[in-house]
Amino acid sequence: MHRNLTFALVAATIALLTSCSPSRDDPPNEAKQEAVATIAWIRGEGRAAVAVHDTARSLISAEITVSSCDAAVDALDRTSTPVAVVETITKVPNADLRAALEEEQGLFRAVVSDTTRGRPSEPDAGVDQLRIVADAVTALIRHLEELAR
């Protein structure tokens, strides 16, 4: 997946530079409403799910070690439960953010589990993938915030 992602990102960047992106000045009503609902969700019911995103971001910003993973898990246990987060994610109004949060949660779990148990990561589930998806979640949230204004 890593190679696929890299290729896709390079291709998309080129595409972005050579074409016009849709104007964000006047988003369609439905898209704006969904963005407003999604941002409201992030600040309300979905706060715990986004806490996983924040934790994942903190984890990958430094070297990933057993102790940093332990700390991340302890921090999460103080704020949420995995089942509640997963169920909450299913209610995200925006489908792209929903898919990205699901993926981030799965990769976070795989990276932490593999690290704390001293196992090599699966080819599709390493820290590089987690970083890409965490960046995607951050960008999506920013995009939705803009849309919701």
**Site residues for other proteins per CB under 8 A:** 1, 4-5, 8-9, 11-13, 15-16, 21, 69, 73-74, 76-77, 80-84, 86-87, 90, 95-96, 99-100, 102-103, 105-107, 109-110, 112-114, 116-117, 122, 124-125, 129, 132-133, 136, 139-140, 143
Closer by beta carbon to other proteins, 22 or else 44: 22
Query: What token pair was written down for 71?
Result: 């700390």
For the CB of residue 37, give the shortest distance to other proteins in the complex, in Å. Answer: 18
**Residue 1 CB neighbour total at 10 angstroms:** 15
The three-state secondary structure class of 1 is coil
Q: Is 38 exposed, middle or buried (0-12, 13-18, 19+ CB in 10 A)?
A: buried
Which residues, including other chains, have CB under 8 Å from residue 89's CB and lie 6 or more apart?
46, 49, 98, 101, 102, 105
For the CB of residue 115, give the shortest distance to other proteins in the complex, in Å. Answer: 9
Distance, CA of 136 to CA of 130 (rounded, Å): 10
Distance, CA of 66 to CA of 129 (rounded, Å): 19
Closer by beta carbon to other proteins, 20 or else 62: 20
For the CB of residue 21, give the shortest distance to other proteins in the complex, in Å. Answer: 7
Closer by beta carbon to other proteins, 30 or else 74: 74
For the CB of residue 43, give the shortest distance to other proteins in the complex, in Å. Answer: 20
